[in-house]
Amino acid sequence: MKLLYFGSPEISAQLLDRLIVDGEHQICAVISNPDRPKGRSSQPLPTPVSSRALDAGLPLFRFESLKGEAGQQAFQELQAFDADLAVVFAYGSIIPKAIFEAPRLGSINLHGSLLPALRGASPVQSAILQGLTTTGWTLQRLGERMDAGDILSTVEIAVDGRETSGELFERMIPSGVQLVIDSLRRIDDLIAAARPQDEAQATYCSKLRPDDAFISWSDASEKIHNQIRGMNPAPQARTITEKGDLILLHRSALLSDEDIAALFPSVDAASRHALLPGTICVAKQSGKKRLLARTGSGFLEILELQLSGRKRMPAHDFLNGSVLADGSRFDGAPDAKQIV
C-alpha cells in the first residue's frame, strides 16, 4: 500500500522506523510538526519523526497550519500522492476532514488506551492516575470527533502497580508498533468489520498541567501513590514544606498496617493516626532513614524526591540534608511561581 505518515515525537518515530525497515508498504510522504527551538537551543530543531524522514530520504512536509488557505494547499499537495491510507500516531495537531478522508481507505490512528475509555491527551498517565490494572492500545479510524472513531483492533497490556507512566509507556510502545504492523496486513478486512464505540462507556482525559500535580495529603494513600506514579516523568508530582520549599516526588511505596507497626514499634496505632495529613515521619531501619508521610488513610513511603532546582535522590540521602525534619509537615498553598 501507499501510505502517508503523520507523527512528531520519538514514540511516533519508532513506528515510522519499523515501517521503513519492514519495507512492506511504500511511504509516499511524512507529515510532522514544524521545526521548533528545544531546550537550550535557540535554533529550530526538527521533530524526531522529521529527522527519521530526512535520514530515509522520504518526502517531508512540515505544515505551519492545516486550516484555511494553508490547509487547502496542504490538501492539494498530499492528494497528489494518491495514497491508499494515512497512518496517524501522535501528530500533535488536528487534521481536517478533507485531509484525513483523502486517501482511498481514509486514515487510521493509534491511541494509547482501550477505547472508548480515556479519550484525550493523557491516556497512559490517566490509566495510572485512576489505578487501572489493565490498559492497552486501540487502532481506530480517524473521524471528526477526537478518539471516537470506529475500532479496528486492540491489544491489552497489564499495568504494574509500581511503574511510572514513563516506564509503562516505554513498555507499551513495542506492542503498539506491532499492532499497527499486523493490522496493516489485513486492513481491508478490519475496515469491513470496524465496530462503533459505545458512547455510554466513554471516559475522557485532558493534558496534565503542573497545577494538577500538587498532592492533597488528605487523599487516600493509594490515590497519592498513583498520582506520584502517573505524574512521572511529567509534570511531576509535587508538594510544599512548611517553609515554602517546593519538593518534587518521584517514587513512593504503599505500606500495610503491619509495615507501619514494625517501623514504629513504640508508637501505638491511635497516636499514629492522630497525626495530621502531610505530617512527616522519619524511621530508621537497617541503618537507613525512611521517609513516610501521613495521608488521609494511613501512611505512604516516599522513596525518591527532589528539592526544586537540585538533583533527585533517594529518601535516605535526602533526609541527611536539613530540608525535612521528623514531625514537620508537607503543607501550604503553592504560589504562582511554583506552578511551573
CATH number, domain with residue 219: 3.10.25.10
% of the chain with per-residue pLDDT over 90: 89
CA distance 86 to 94: 14
Q: Is residue 171 part of a domain?
A: no
**Domain membership of residue 143 as a residue range:** 110-162+186-207
Q: Do 101 and 114 fall into the same domain?
A: no
- Cα 153–Cα 156–Cα 159 angle in degrees, nearest 5: 155
Asked whether the predicted pLDDT for residue 338 surpasses 60, the reply is: no
pLDDT value at position 337? Answer: 44
Q: Are both 36 and 83 inside the same structural domain?
A: yes
Those residues whose C-beta lies under 8 Å from the C-beta of residue 58, and which sit 6 or more positions away, are 20, 27, 29, 30
Backbone angles phi, psi at 11, to 5 degrees: -60, -40
- Binding-site residue positions for (6S)-5,6,7,8-tetrahydrofolate: 113-116
Whether the CB-CB separation of 331 and 240 falls below 8 Å is answered with: yes
Examine residue 282 and state whether it is found in any structural domain, yes or no: yes
Quick one: pLDDT at residue 336?
42
Number of domains comprising the chain: 3
| Tens digits of residue pLDDT in 17-42 | 999 999 999 999 999 999 999 877 77
Dihedrals φ, ψ of 188, to 5°?
Answer: -60, -45
Same domain, yes or no: 304 and 192: no
Residue 132 sits in the same domain as residue 66: no
Q: Which range, of 64-73, 229-238, 321-330, averages the lowest pLDDT?
A: 321-330
Query: 281-294, pLDDT tens digit by residue?
Result: 999 988 899 999 99
Rounded to two decimals, the pTM is: 0.93
Clarify whether residues 225 and 327 are in a common domain.
Answer: yes
Confidence class for position 266, pLDDT limits 50, 70, 90: confident
Residues 260, 303 within the same domain = yes
40-67: b (≥16 Cβ within 10 Å) or e: eeeeeebbbbbebbeeeebebbbbeebe
Give the angle subtended at the CA of 247 by the CAs of 241 and 253, to the nearest 5°: 105
Q: Identify whether 170 is part of a domain.
A: no
Q: Which residues are annotated as a binding site?
A: 113-116
Burial label for 93, CB within 10 Å (0-12, 13-18, 19+), is middle
Question: pLDDT band at 51, cuts 50/70/90?
Answer: very high
Looking at the DSSP bridge assignments, the partners of residue 38 are none
